[in-house]
Every structure is written in C-alpha cells, then in structure tokens.
Amino acid sequence: MLRLDKYLADCGAGTRSEVKKYLRAGRVSVNGSVCTKPETKIDPEQADVTFDGRHLRYRRFAYYMLHKPAGVITATEDTRHRTVLDLLEDVPYSNLSPVGRLDIDTEGLLLITNDGALAHDLLSPAKHVEKTYLCRLAAPATEQDAEAFAEGIVLEDGTRCRPALCEILPDGALVTITEGKYHQVKRMWAARDNEVRYLKRLSMGPLVLPDDLPAGAYRELTPEELHQLKDRDYARE
C-alpha cells in the first residue's frame, strides 16, 4: 500500500507539497470518488486514480534516452545555461537527473532517470561500464595511439587510466573507456599530444544512440533496453 500523495508525486503530478494542495482542492479522485486526504493508502497496482479527470498510470521510476546537443549543460538546473532537463518538455515525472555528465560542447547519448540505484550502478568504477565516443581530432590518430590506449594512458597529471580501446577512423577515432574521470577522453588525447575538436558519446553499457534520434530529442527507453540495463550482464565486474 502507498500513500496517495506519494503516488501522485511518483506519477509526476507535482511535488509532495503541491499534490497536497491539489488534494485539498478536490482535483483528485480514487475509484470514482473525490479524495482530499494525502495520507489515504491505496494499492498502486489496482487503484483507479484521476487528476483533473486524467487517469494516472503508476510507475515509480522513469528512464529517458536523450541525444544531448552541444551548448547544453548536464545539470538539473542552472542560472546561466540551458540544462538537459530543460529539453525534457512535458515529462510527467519529478526528481529526474542525468546519469553521469557530458561536457557542454560534447554531444550524444545521455540517460536521464529518477532510479538512483541504477544510476549508481552505471557510474560505479567497480562495474567497468563501457562508454564509446566518436572523436574528431586535430591530427590523425595512429597505431601508436591505439597501442598506448590499450596499455593505459597516463594523463598529464600522472593519473593512469584503465586500458581503453581506440579504433582508428579515416577522420578520427572511436574510443571506448570503462571509467569516467573528469574530461577523460579529452585528457587522454592531450596526453598523446593531440586535441579533440569534436566529441560525441555513441553508447553507454547496452544503450546505443539511435540514428533516428536527432540532437535535442529524447524518448523513453524500450522495455528491451531497460531489461538489458537491469540485467547487469554488460558490466565486467
């Protein structure tokens, strides 16, 4: 059983304090009857709850895949820049946060959810979740670069990175890392006396950025994608 105010908040109707106001105003019905008490206990799987006449479907957690564009920061709020959450218009869920971060000038796949346990797993250094980036570089990548990445790049501050995969492309490289140090891919190339001119994350764990999801667009994860994420088989522990 679940308190009605928590049910409404989890459904994205508003914050706990906001939904209490909605309840007092008589805007919520449970099984056809107006309910004004936030402490009312309901079965989230069986109760028929409406808010302003709209039927709510209970789901505690939400999962969105965003194609982050350049110029947007990976944050929940900011007074100077547009954030990734600003791009999620008309999303009926609260307490959403990006999983990890992409620099303001970096594009690509970003998972946004309110499932804190899953986010922790994906970001845990012990899980070694793979993340693949498309890199456009100031100078062509070389086989020596690929060998250095495979051995483990030593950053300019002396930090040694875990071994990474570097696949050379005609106009850049694909780099796959299993950790998430600050500005890591850019710093790895800087340690090779090269500069990243363009960076785009193509995948994270089992999630792959779809070709038909344009920059700035988002969609919910499919049931299959969510199952793959929660299966944990992608993580090399």
The burial class, CB within 10 Å (0-12 / 13-18 / 19+), for 160 is: exposed
Answer yes or no: 103 catalytic. yes
Instruction: Provide the CA 183 distance to its chain's centre, in angstroms.
Output: 17
DSSP for the chain, written as a single string: -EEHHHHHHHTTS--HHHHHHHHHTT-EEETTEE---TT-EE-TTT--EEETTEEP---S--EEEEEEPTT-BSSS--SSS-BGGGG-TT---SS-EESS---TT-EEEEEEES-HHHHHHHH-GGG---EEEEEEESS---HHHHHHHHH-PBPTTSPBPPP-EEEEETTEEEEEESS--TTHHHHHHHHTT--EEEEEEEEETTEE--TTS-TT-EEEPPHHHHHHHHH-TT---
Catalytic position from the list 78, 103, 105, 211? 103
Q: How far apart are CA 152 and CA 165, in angstroms?
A: 10
Quick one: how far is CA 127 from the chain centroid? 16
* Active-site residue list: 103
